[in-house]
Amino acid sequence: MASSNVDALFRPFQLKSLSLKNRIVMAPMTRSFSPSGVPGDNVAAYYRRRAEQEVGLILSEGTTIDRPAARNEPNIPFFHGEAALAGWQHVIDGVHEAGGRMGPQIWHVGSVASFLTDWVQDVPVESPSGLVAPGQPRGEAMSEEAIADTLDAYARAAADAKRLGFDTVEIHAAHGYLIDQFFWAATNQRSDRYGGATLKERSRFAAEVVKSVRDAVGPDLPIILRVSQWKQQDFDVRLANTPDEMTDWLAPLVEAGADILHCSQRRFWEPEYPELDGPEGLNFAGWAKKLTGAPTISVGSVGLSGDFMGAFSGESSTPASLEKLVDRMERDEFDLIAVGRALLSDPAWVKKVHARDETSLTDFTKEALTELY
Ligand SMILES: Cc1cc2nc3c(=O)[nH]c(=O)nc-3n(C[C@H](O)[C@H](O)[C@H](O)COP(=O)(O)O)c2cc1C
């Protein structure tokens, strides 16, 4: 890693009741270490270790709302029910004792099956139109009643996050899961008010989720909304092909109450509309901030040589320069940067970067996925 001045990453950040000591966010990463949906002491210790070593904001692994088919792996944690919430209480208390800040990422997988296990829910899978990808049926189309119940389930999870003392809540609306299946025309063919020919119309479900979460947490707790152009079903899909389409997509969600947009890319340095501002142009988070005025989080291969989907097929990555990241953050292109695998394999990654202890940064290897440390 070439040495660069990393001060831009270590400026404080303040929004509503959220106060962060630096700009580095631990990206949400499913770990599947919560038997029966309950995060135990090992999960609490895993997050606490990152809080102890200077991570500014921790976003939890995806943790599911109270809908029967919300998860697609057996050891994904619930964010409902007494036992799971007691586990999360232990998590947030440990993070706070270590001086950290944290929000749960609340999640419903829609009709996406896990690519890591053969496990399937013993209840019907649900999605906007009973599809998982273009022309690929999976599960049932949700009734209006199922949608209303799902909105309530998001609200209850958010209210519980606040009650337990979490500092923010992130809604997972990315990567081809339930909310993203409403955005995507290929998986949303509904003829009621949750469907439609335009992205703006297909954003209605997400806007209602955000509104119900806002009603549940009150005005001061920041709500983060995670979105992506790409889908795990197809990396090349783009919801918004122009800035105007991006405005139609994201502005109503900010209007509905999303405070921070978490713009998921696999490589943060890739420009979103290079035809408009060149090969070094604004990335997704940069455009989202420019078009909506909301603060944004960027993400994707920070500090590592390869992108994250390779991790699931066993690929390793070596440490990479932070120079391009620092340049973009010095220009305030986006406000916060999320780091996934580098923090998964090394709980001390932020501390080492801050101390410019570059020689001790380690490779990411597939072994990091097999245990919690
Ligand atoms: C093991 C693993 C699990 C992940 N689980 C989630 C998840 O639950 N929710 C989510 O929004 N993204 C998830 N992601 C994506 C990460 O949040 C992040 O966007 C991605 O890893 C890119 O960041 P990186 O290149 O720094 O690893 C996961 C990534 C990995 C490697």
Give the mean pLDDT of 195-222.
Answer: 98
How far, in Å, are 28, 186, 187 from residue 183 at the CA level? 21, 9, 8
Half-sphere exposure at residue 193, Cβ-oriented, CA atoms within 13 angstroms: 8
How far apart CA 234 and CA 185 sit, in angstroms, is 13
The alpha carbon of 315 and the centre of ligand 1 are apart by a number of angstroms equal to 15
Atom number of ligand 1 nearest to Cα 302? 26
pTM as predicted: 0.98
Residue 2's pLDDT is 45
b vs e for 267-285, b when ≥16 Cβ sit within 10 Å of the residue's Cβ?
ebbebbbeeeeeeebbbbb
Closest Cα to atom 22 of ligand 1: 300
pLDDT for 328-358, tens place per residue?
Answer: 999 999 999 999 999 999 999 999 999 998 8
Which has the higher per-residue pLDDT, 200 or 115? 200
Give the mean pLDDT of 232-252.
Answer: 97
Which has the higher per-residue pLDDT, 155 or 122? 155
Atom number of ligand 1 nearest to Cα 364? 27
| CA dihedral for 300, 46, 38, 153, sign (positive or negative) | negative
The alpha carbon of 17 and the centre of ligand 1 are apart by a number of angstroms equal to 26
130 dihedral zone (left: phi>0; alpha: psi -120 to 50; beta): left
The alpha carbon of 299 and the centre of ligand 1 are apart by a number of angstroms equal to 9
The residues lining ligand 1, judged by C-beta closer than 6 Å to any ligand atom, are: 27-30, 61-62, 105, 172, 174-175, 226, 264, 299-302, 304, 307-308, 311, 339-342, 369
Q: How many CB atoms lie within 10 A of CB 36?
A: 12
pLDDT for 1-33, tens place per residue?
Answer: 445 699 999 999 999 999 999 999 999 999 999
Residue 313's pLDDT is 83
Catalytic site positions: 177
How far apart CA 320 and CA 4 sit, in angstroms, is 12
Residue type, 208: E
Give the mean pLDDT of 110-130.
Answer: 93
User: Cα Rg for the chain, rounded, in angstroms?
Assistant: 19
Residue 310's pLDDT is 82
How far, in Å, are 252, 314, 355 from residue 361 at the CA level? 41, 20, 11
Residue 314's pLDDT is 86
Closest Cα to atom 6 of ligand 1: 29
pLDDT for 278-313, tens place per residue?
Answer: 999 999 999 999 999 999 999 999 999 888 888 888
